[in-house]
Amino acid sequence: GGRISPMKKLSLKHKIALVELVVFVAIVIWFLGPRSLDRTIGDFDPAAVTEVQAQLTAFNGQEGRAVTLSQGEAAFDQLLTLLESKKYIPYYLERDAQRSIALDYKVQLHFTQGAADYTYTFSGDRAIDLTGDGAAKTYQVTDSDVFQQSVLDFLLEQEYTKLEVN
């Protein structure tokens, strides 16, 4: 039995097409696939963050809150662990698209990393906006509404000062 392996039956043209397909799929996965928080934008490195300032802007008439968490505090580590627990999937939508407001607060997190400043913003719809290094990107996560509510709940448990709204 001199059986011919399936790969030998393919012509060179088919082999090249197969390789091109594999490369194409790999590129699509790279651009559209889930990524960890540190791969979301520019040189963002959660391990190098020294402070997180959270601004909670109220939508329901309550006053806003400002929460500052610094490296070395338990709450700082818990927040970063919570944010890093998700994989971020690129979410392409129009820049000026209206966002639905599904939470009582718009949450904006400012990360201080050396001289760099990164921002992580959400208000309860699927989109999570990340900005920094002169770039702005939008992501979504699985169970986005539940996840965003859990981050908000965590922040509401922290000591805060009144948010001064200009």
Report whether pLDDT(53) > 80: yes
Q: Is the pLDDT of residue 52 over 80?
A: yes
Q: Is 112 helix (H, G, I), strand (E, B) or coil?
A: strand
Tens digit of each residue's pLDDT (9 = 90 or more) over 79-135: 999 999 999 999 887 666 777 778 999 999 999 999 999 999 999 988 999 999 888
Taking only the tens place, the pLDDT of each residue in 121-143 is 999 988 999 999 888 999 999 99
pLDDT value at position 42? 82
Q: What is the pLDDT of residue 82?
A: 97
Distance from the first to the final alpha carbon of the chain: 83
CB neighbours of 63 closer than 8 A, spacing ≥ 6?
A: 162, 163
Q: Are 65 and 160 in contact (CB under 8 A)?
A: yes
d(CA 141, CA 111): 19
pLDDT exceeds 70 at position 8: no
Full-model pTM: 0.80
- Read off the pLDDT band of 6 (50, 70, 90): low
26 by Cβ neighbours in 10 Å (0-12 / 13-18 / 19+) ranks as exposed
Give the pLDDT mean for 154-162: 95
pLDDT surpasses 80 at 165: no
CA distance 26 to 20: 10
Could you give the CA distance from residue 156 to residue 128 in angstroms, rounded to a whole number? 19
Which tokens belong to 13? 């043209």
User: In angstroms, rounded to a whole number, what is the distance separating the alpha carbons of residues 157 and 44?
Assistant: 26
